[in-house]
């Protein structure tokens, strides 16, 4: 930057006061809203668009879920006016939320439509040639090529998938990741509302540090004056929370004026914690369940508060 | 004592004069040749990205508001997308518009000045490049600027948090450089705070 705030050019002056009274405490946020239609995805829809894929039955009676996943180079408006050269799965941030049941067959037809080699590496239990790490035989795909990953879904829980080609930090931070939910064979107890939240960040100047933080792709999207998440008093809310944040060692989730039951990795039907704040390193994930006792609006955000003021914040609008 | 001996004319051989004449010419020719044969020593290389400079020509701190007077001195227009103050994204207004033409000016206002010790601004433009400037005084380790929300006891808060002597001289001088500042300096001096600037 070629300029600095020079004390000799700094003037302290009286009013006018532009603080908008006491009606609304001013909070960090962006000015305006991104063009969701142009981006090709909307974080409000991503919350609930669990994707079962194309479902059919195999001759042995096993349920088959088929997906087509395309690695694309996509320009995304991450905050109003600022565009980011992202690497996405199916053009969205995060990629499709793959949701199946334990023991189902998962078939991912992966096409690499970008200029670099890419892969899909699933967290879960599967054969080595479906791991997407070392070479073409294990699912690393050259530009213009394709590969089919196929495995039985296990164990049940909330997982993730991401590109595993090098340089890994760049591939992940530029956007190649998504949520992967495996429900227990008999399903989970019914919840009134289910949401997926994938926590990540944007390094828009490529200096290895995040400039913005968010859940589901767009900083500040679920903010109180933008697109708060609407729920009702007493509803059982279940959140599938995944942390993919690159560069920063720890991310977190804090729920205001409430406590939640926490299921680490979602691999047990019994919660192991009742809290209002959890910390997750990259790749960690879990399931949160809670009900709101009182109406009005409540924040949820990273309790690394710097992240919150750079975009990882949102609001539950709780209706009576 | 005097002498009547005629002055001896100094001997300046023609060859010596010629050498002194040619040396600078030859040196200049050498430099020109070097410049030509090294393709301008890299001056012909087109920079990968335009050099963008945004000058903060004037900063006016009001209770609850900071006002930045900006000038774009870079080779092409700059568009302000969002602003970052002390690692937080804040709302702002800018007039006449977000895009500042080459050598054009704009006035950017934050509706609230966060209470922080360090003054840092980042302005991210549509190219996705962040620009940072620091309070120059802070960089020299000589002081920083603060402004509190209306209603806060400025002097008490300042002294409590900084433990520094409360003075207004430097900033009062600054305030007096502008019309509104004159008013501020005379009537509201308790709100003009700053660590003593020694540099």
| Domains, chain A, with CATH or none | 36-183 (2.60.40.420), 193-319 (2.60.40.420)
- What pLDDT score was predicted for residue A111? 97
The answer to whether A20 touches B111, Cβ cutoff 8 Å, is: yes
Quote the tokens at residue B12.
């300046």
Quote the tokens at residue B172.
């009062």
Is the minimum CB–CB distance between B180 and chain A shorter than 8 Å? Answer: yes
B173 domain residue, yes or no? yes
- What pLDDT score was predicted for residue A4? 38
Residue B100's domain is classified under what CATH number?
Answer: 2.60.40.2410
Residues B185-195: tens digit of each pLDDT: 322 222 222 32
Mean pLDDT across chain B = 60
Residue-level length of chain B = 199
One domain, residues B150 and B180: yes
Q: Which residues of B touch A13 (CB under 8 A)?
A: 60-62, 175, 178, 180-181, 183-184
Contact B63 A14 (CB under 8 A): yes
Find tokens 């934050």 and name the residue: B110
Of B114, B134, B154, which residue is a domain's last?
A: B134
More reliable by pLDDT, B178 or A110: A110
Residues B25-69: tens digit of each pLDDT: 999 999 999 888 887 767 677 666 666 677 878 877 776 677 888
* Mutation to test the B interface, candidates A2, A6, A13, most B Cβ within 10 Å: A13
One domain, residues B130 and B146: no
- What pLDDT score was predicted for residue B49? 61
One domain, residues B147 and B81: no
pLDDT of A247 higher than 60:
yes
One domain, residues B110 and B155: no
B166 domain residue, yes or no? yes
- What pLDDT score was predicted for residue B147? 28
Q: For strands A10-12 and A285-290, give the pairing.
A: unpaired
Quote the tokens at residue A299.
């924040």
B36 domain residue, yes or no? no
More reliable by pLDDT, B144 or A184: A184
pLDDT of A243 higher than 90:
yes
**Cα–Cα distance between B153 and B142 in angstroms, integer?**
23
The answer to whether A280 touches A252, Cβ cutoff 8 Å, is: yes
**Cα–Cα distance between A69 and B189 in angstroms, integer?**
64
One domain, residues B126 and B185: no
Q: Cβ neighbours of residue A293 under 8 Å, at least 6 residues apart? A: A233, A234, A258
Q: Cβ neighbours of residue A11 under 8 Å, at least 6 residues apart? A: B58, B59, B60, B61, B174, B175, B177, B178, B180, B181, B184
The answer to whether A87 touches A171, Cβ cutoff 8 Å, is: yes
* Mutation to test the A interface, candidates B50, B51, B56, most A Cβ within 10 Å: B56
**Cα–Cα distance between A125 and A150 in angstroms, integer?**
11
- Smallest CA–CA separation between B35 and chain A, in Å? 28
For residues A233-237, average pLDDT: 98
* Share of residues in chain B with pLDDT > 70 (%): 43
* Side-chain-side CA neighbours of residue B181 (13 Å): 22
One domain, residues B156 and B82: no
Coil, strand, or helix at residue A268? coil
Contact B54 A2 (CB under 8 A): yes
Task: Report the domain count for chain B.
Answer: 2
**Cα–Cα distance between A147 and A138 in angstroms, integer?**
9
One domain, residues B108 and B159: no
DSSP labels, A71-117: EEEEEEEEETTEEEEEEEETTBSSEEEEEEETT-EEEEEEEE-SSS-
One domain, residues B147 and B115: no
**Cα–Cα distance between A178 and A67 in angstroms, integer?**
13
| Short-list A29, A6, A39, CA closest to B137 | A6
* Share of residues in chain A with pLDDT > 70 (%): 92
**Residue ranges making up the domain that contains B148:** 141-199
B34 domain residue, yes or no? no
Nearest Cβ partner of A82 from B60, B124, B131? B124
B39 domain residue, yes or no? no
Number of other CB atoms surrounding residue B4 within 10 Å: 4
The answer to whether B54 touches B71, Cβ cutoff 8 Å, is: yes
The answer to whether A229 touches A88, Cβ cutoff 8 Å, is: no
* Side-chain-side CA neighbours of residue A72 (13 Å): 16
- Smallest CA–CA separation between B94 and chain A, in Å? 11
One domain, residues B55 and B129: yes
B168 domain residue, yes or no? yes
Nearest Cβ partner of A30 from B82, B172, B175? B82
Closest alpha carbon within chain A to B147: A12
Chain B contacts in chain A segment 220-259 (CB below 8 A): 220
**Cα–Cα distance between A59 and B91 in angstroms, integer?**
59
B16 domain residue, yes or no? no
Of B134, B165, B186, which residue is a domain's last?
A: B134
Number of other CB atoms surrounding residue A147 within 10 Å: 22
Max alpha carbon distance in chain A (Å)?
A: 80
One domain, residues B145 and B127: no
| Short-list A211, A235, A267, CA closest to A78 | A211
One domain, residues B127 and B151: no
Radius of gyration of chain A (CA): 21
Nearest Cβ partner of B82 from A13, A82, A205? A82
Residues A268-291: tens digit of each pLDDT: 999 999 999 999 999 999 999 999
**Cα–Cα distance between A89 and A112 in angstroms, integer?**
9
Residues A204-222: tens digit of each pLDDT: 877 788 989 999 999 999 9
pTM of the model: 0.76
Of B82, B112, B134, which residue is a domain's last?
A: B134
The answer to whether A106 touches A150, Cβ cutoff 8 Å, is: yes
Chain A contacts in chain B segment 22-61 (CB below 8 A): 53-61
- What pLDDT score was predicted for residue B110? 81
**Cα–Cα distance between A235 and A21 in angstroms, integer?**
35
One domain, residues B159 and B199: yes
Find tokens 């808060």 and name the residue: B157
* DSSP 8-state secondary structure symbol assigned to residue B166: P
pLDDT of B112 higher than 70:
no
Find tokens 């960690």 and name the residue: A284
The answer to whether B57 touches B69, Cβ cutoff 8 Å, is: yes
B11 domain residue, yes or no? no
Lowest mean pLDDT segment, chosen from A33-37, A162-166, B7-11:
B7-11
């Amino acid at each position: 930057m070629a300029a600095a705030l020079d004390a000799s050019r700094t003037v302290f002056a009286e009013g006018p006061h532009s603080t908008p009274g006491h009606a609304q405490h001013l909070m960090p946020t962006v000015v305006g809203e991104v063009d969701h239609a142009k981006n090709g995805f909307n974080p409000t829809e991503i919350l609930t668009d669990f994707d079962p894929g194309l479902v059919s039955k195999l001759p042995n009676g096993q349920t088959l879920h088929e997906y087509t996943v395309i690695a694309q180079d996509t320009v995304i408006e991450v905050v109003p006016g600022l565009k980011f050269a992202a690497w996405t799965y199916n053009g969205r941030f995060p990629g499709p939320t793959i949701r199946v049941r334990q023991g189902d067959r998962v078939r991912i037809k992966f096409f690499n439509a970008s200029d670099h080699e890419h892969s899909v590496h699933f967290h879960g239990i599967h054969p080595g040639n479906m791991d997407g790490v070392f070479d073409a035989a294990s699912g690393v795909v050259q530009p213009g090529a394709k590969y089919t990953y196929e495995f039985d879904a296990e164990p049940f829980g909330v997982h993730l998938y991401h590109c595993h080609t090098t340089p890994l930090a760049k591939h992940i931070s530029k956007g190649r990741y998504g949520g992967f939910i495996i429900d227990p064979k008999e399903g989970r107890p019914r919840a009134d509302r289910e949401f997926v939240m994938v926590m990540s960040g944007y390094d828009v100047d490529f200096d290895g540090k995040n400039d913005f933080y968010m859940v589901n792709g767009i900083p500040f999207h679920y903010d109180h004056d933008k697109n708060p998440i609407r729920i009702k008093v007493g509803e059982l809310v279940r959140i599938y929370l995944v942390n993919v944040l690159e560069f920063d060692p720890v991310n977190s989730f804090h729920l205001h004026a409430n406590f939640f039951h926490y299921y680490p990795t979602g691999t047990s039907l019994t919660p192991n914690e009742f809290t209002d704040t959890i910390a997750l390193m990259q790749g960690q994930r879990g399931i949160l369940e809670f009900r709101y006792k009182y109406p009005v609006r409540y924040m949820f955000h990273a309790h690394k508060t710097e992240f919150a003021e750079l975009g990882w914040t949102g609001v539950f609008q709780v209706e009576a | 004592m005097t002498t009547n001996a005629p002055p001896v004319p100094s001997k300046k051989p023609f060859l010596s004069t010629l050498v002194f004449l040619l040396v600078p010419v030859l040196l200049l020719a050498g430099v020109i040749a070097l410049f030509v044969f090294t393709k301008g020593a890299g001056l012909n290389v087109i920079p990968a990205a335009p050099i963008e400079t945004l000058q903060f020509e004037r900063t006016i701190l009001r209770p609850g508001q900071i006002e930045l007077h900006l000038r774009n001195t870079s080779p092409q227009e700059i568009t302000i997308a969002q602003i970052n103050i002390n690692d937080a994204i804040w709302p702002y207004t800018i007039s006449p518009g977000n895009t500042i033409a080459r050598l054009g000016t704009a006035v950017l206002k934050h509706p609230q000045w966060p209470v922080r010790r360090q003054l840092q601004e980042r302005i991210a433009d549509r190219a996705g490049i962040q620009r940072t400037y620091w309070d120059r005084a802070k960089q020299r380790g000589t002081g920083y600027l603060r402004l509190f929300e209306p209603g806060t006891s400025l002097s008490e808060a300042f002294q409590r948090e900084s433990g520094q002597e409360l003075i207004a001289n430097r900033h009062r001088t600054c305030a007096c450089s502008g019309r509104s500042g004159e008013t501020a300096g005379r009537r509201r001096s308790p709100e003009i705070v700053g660590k003593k600037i020694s540099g």
